[in-house]
Chains A and B, each alone.
Chain A
Amino acid sequence: MSRSCKAALLASAVGALLAWTAPALADGFANVGRPATPAEIKAWDIDVGPDFAGLPKGSGTVSRGMEIWEEKCASCHGTFGESNSVFNPLVGGTTAEDIKTGHVAALKRTDFPARTTFMKVATVSTLYDYIRRAMPWNAPKSLSDDDVYAVLAYLLNLAEIVPDDYTLTDATIRDVQKRMPNRDGMTTAHALWPGPDFPGMAAKPDTANAACMTNCKPKAELASQLPEHARGAHGNIAEQNRLIGPVRGQRTGPDTAAAEAPSPALALAEQSGCLSCHAVDTRVVGPSYSEIAARYRGKNSNETADALVSKVKAGGDGAWGAVPMPPQDDLSIDDAKTLVAWILSGAPQK
């Protein structure tokens, strides 16, 4: 067979292989995944959209909401949803005028101290959806659909959007939407979404710096610096940087490493060469210190300690296997006592 014939056959074989494998892939991924049952979809598909798609039927009153609130919500959010001790405040900062205009006026003020949930949220569906899926904080999804209506009714009452005797239902929630204080407070006129899917989306980013390289401005003026009192607010930065390399961290607070200094006995063990053959938790050549502590636990401590000090000094074999422990002539009796006491106490690292 000629070389060109071989090449042609090879090419057709490759072509046939591709032609053969492609239909198999076109069949999809056989036996991967299975159809979801209607009950499964119902259990998990709990999202409620801004058009109220997915909103369950139900209702709840402001007064019922207050009962649930005081039992399950007030401890974190405060009695009136105003607390900022655990989370940011939910209620406050909106006015009757905002309910008319659909824009929360306080959001234009740079001196306004907080931004509450009701100052920001444009869609009441968001609140129903989120309370149902995520609240209470420590027992999410434990509220019934009606309880969610009731809690939301109470919140809307705190925000002075609905009256005290209001009943929130899957029907009346549409009226509430028309009274949300910041309902027209959102804009999609920006370029931070990767498609043209929203009204007014900008085609270009809103900043346009240029890559100037030389003499770009006459001088560099500092607009802001870290206040001196804030330098230590994040602990000792020296302990947040590596011990080696071209830089060190600045010392901005007390050393915590001193408090975590290793046990002097551990240092003594290292200095005396004990750790060549022993480790605290792992058998190396000799037994681990944990093993030794375990063997002598509950025995007369003074006798045990004295016997072990002698063994450490004189060395020996047989107690833990065939490898002998050499005599420790350079180790003082006092150091040996320190080490033995430390080993019998479990060889703590600190």
Chain B
Amino acid sequence: MSNLRPTGEATPRTDPLVPGADISSADIRAGRLRRAPENFLTADDIRQVGKGRRDFLRSSFLAAAAATGAAALGGRAAIAATTVAGDGDPNILTPTPWGSSLGLPVAANPYGQPSKHERALVRRQSPGLTQVPAASVSFAPLQGLFGIITPSGLHFERHHQGWQDIDPTRHRLMVNGARPDFVKTPKVYTMDDIMRLPPVSRMHFIECGANTGMEWGNVAVPTVQYTHGMLSCSEFTGVPLRTLLEDCGADLKAAKFVLAEGGDGSSMTRTIPIELVLSGEVMVAYGQNGEMLRPENGYPLRLVVPGVQGVSWAKWLRRIEVGDRPYATKDEAVHYIDLMPDGQHRQYTSIQECKSVITSPSGGQTLLDKGYFTISGLAWSGRGAVKRVDVSTDGGMNWSQATLQTPVLSKCLTRFTLAWNWDGRPALLQSRATDETGFVQPAYGQLRAVRGTRSIYHNNAIQTWQVAESGDVNNVQIL
């Protein structure tokens, strides 16, 4: 937005990022975010700073931060900025507080926390999406995440009746049959029992079936946090459900479906595909990224159903029932059903089809400057591994193949990147993923042609970010 860019007189300088480049004329061009502290310091001021007037610098940038909002999160943004004036960068020429003082002792934070400068990247709600915060969603800040693993504290949340922090010593998992002959010995497991069994650790994405659901008909929300943030990826540790079923003597030939049930107030239930149980993919998980599950993610036990929408990953898992017909539970008969144009609802839609999104640059952001950028994003498929991702900067007329970062795993997020030189002109950024089955992520027009605009669930359309000459990136749709 315009008030982010101060309109003061341009000061000739040399851009330290582009050796030898004189960008004085470029300073006044739209799209250039002029960086502090030259936003508010004159050349004279900077020379004074260079002579060691540290406290002067502090008061200046605090005042400027308050005045311009450019350093919206406090003066430290200004400290980190680049400038070369006078003898050089005051961040080099004068002592820094952290370089000239004693730091904090070990275990000052017994459980470590992110830097205070990272407080912008947190889970957030989308105003107006739900009426009650205990039956709601918080979105993961994809715009600021790297790689493929979601920090556990930033994992998106979806609760149907609030979250609980269950006493793990009192938690039980029951396995029984819809009929006595389906399970020879119905059993009860404590967490002690489950954690004694041979563990497996696997990385998988989890995506809410309603992710991107607000965008079915039109653009509705500004940033990738809200368009795609019901998406996370963790390393889960646990026991294949098949191991437990075999331990109970389940009749895996008679079994056609499995019911999973939570131990929270809603005791939420979902019908689980037996195919993914028999393949060994479905896990009863207690570990997440090397520690126990977070309470918001089902501590101490949840189901992991790779490739299937998050609602099936029953949290606070208390019971598994082996059955021979689907269960038509509330979240597969009232919600998580996809309305088609003919008025019929698709029921038991589970797989999250191949999808991708560019996370940087993305909606609500402003490019710092023209020149070199790395377009970076995430791709995933509920049917297996991502095979390739293509990126377009002209709204889908022409595409370039992106680089896939390793590891590229089945039913796991895959990070892709593409080098891009922004010439300062408008651009339309898109990504298009293809999975190992050959399925290619659809355009909005293709998806709406078969499913209309009222499905709510399973929107895997190609996302477009519009880059304006100003450098502002905005959410748009192209059919």
Q: Looking at the complex, which one of A32, A129, A191, A226 makes contact with B474 (CB distance below 8 Å)?
A: A226
Please, how many angstroms separate the alpha-carbon atoms of A5 and B451 in the complex? 69
**Complex Cα–Cα for A300 and B339 (A):** 72
Are the C-beta atoms of B197 and A50 separated by less than 8 Å? no
CB contact list, B192-249 vs A, under 8 A: 193, 196-197, 218-223, 225-226, 244, 247-248
Q: By the criterion CB–CB under 8 Å, are A226 and B222 in contact? A: yes
Question: Chain A: which residue is nearest B348 at the CB level?
Answer: A193
Contact in complex: B476, A225 (CB < 8 Å): yes
Residue B364 contacts which of A36, A105, A242, A249 (CB distance < 8 angstroms)?
A249
Given A104-B343, A115-B339, A207-B442, A193:B374 Cβ within 8 A: no
Complex alpha-carbon distance, A49 and B221, angstroms: 38
**Listed A/B pairs (10) with beta-carbon separation below 8 Å:** A36-B188, A41-B174, A108-B343, A120-B345, A182-B345, A195-B275, A209-B440, A222-B477, A240-B120, A242-B120
B365 neighbours in A (Cβ, 8 Å): 237, 241, 247-250
Are B135 and A273 in contact, CB atoms less than 8 angstroms apart? Answer: no
Residues in B with CB closer than 8 Å to A108 are: 341-343
**Which residues from A are CB-within-8-Å of B127?**
233-235
Q: Does the CB pair A261–B344 fall under 8 Å?
A: no
Number of interchain pairs (Cβ within 8 Å): 378
With A84-B131, A129-B330, A194-B307 known as contacts, the answer to whether A32 contacts B196 (CB < 8 A) is yes
B120: chain A residues at CB < 8 Å are 239-243, 249
Chain A residue at minimum C-beta to C-beta distance from B389? A211
How many residues does chain B have at the interface if contact means C-beta atoms less than 8 Å apart?
152
Contact mask A73-110 → B, CB, 8 Å, 1/0?
A: 00000000000111100000000000000011101101
- For the complex with contacts A36-B186, A110-B452, 6 further pairs of A-B residues with Cβ separation under 8 Å are A122-B347, A129-B330, A189-B346, A248-B366, A271-B54, A276-B102
Q: With A and B bound together, what is the CA distance between A217 and B344 in angstroms? A: 33
Within 8 A of B (CB), among A166-187: 182, 185-187
Contact A185 B345 (CB under 8 A): yes
Nearest first, the 10 closest Cβ-Cβ pairs linking A and B are A220-B395, A108-B343, A207-B442, A276-B101, A107-B343, A192-B349, A209-B440, A237-B364, A130-B330, A247-B365
Contacts of B340 in A (CB 8 A): 187
Given A45-B319, A120-B334, A126-B328; A246-B374 close (CB under 8 Å) = yes
Which residues of A (261-283) have their CB < 8 Å from a CB of B? 261-262, 267, 270-271, 273, 275-277, 279, 282
Interface residues on A, range: 35 or more
8 Å CB interface, B145-162 against A: 160-161
User: Do the beta carbons of A130 and B197 come within 8 Å of each other?
Assistant: no
Name the contact of B450 in the complex, choosing from A29, A51, A207, A233 (C-beta under 8 A).
A207
B101 to chain A, nearest CB (A): 4
B72 to chain A, nearest CB (A): 5
Give the CA-CA distance A242 to B344 in the complex, in Å: 44
**Taking each of B323, B344, B395, B428, which has the highest tally of chain A beta carbons within 10 Å of its own beta carbon?**
B344
Chain A residue with minimal CB distance to B430? A220
- The residues of B that contact A189 with a CB separation of less than 8 Å are 346
How far is B65's CA from A255's CA once the two chains are assembled, in angstroms? 10
A225 touches B1 (CB 8 A): no
- Find chain B residues with CB under 8 A from A10 CB: none
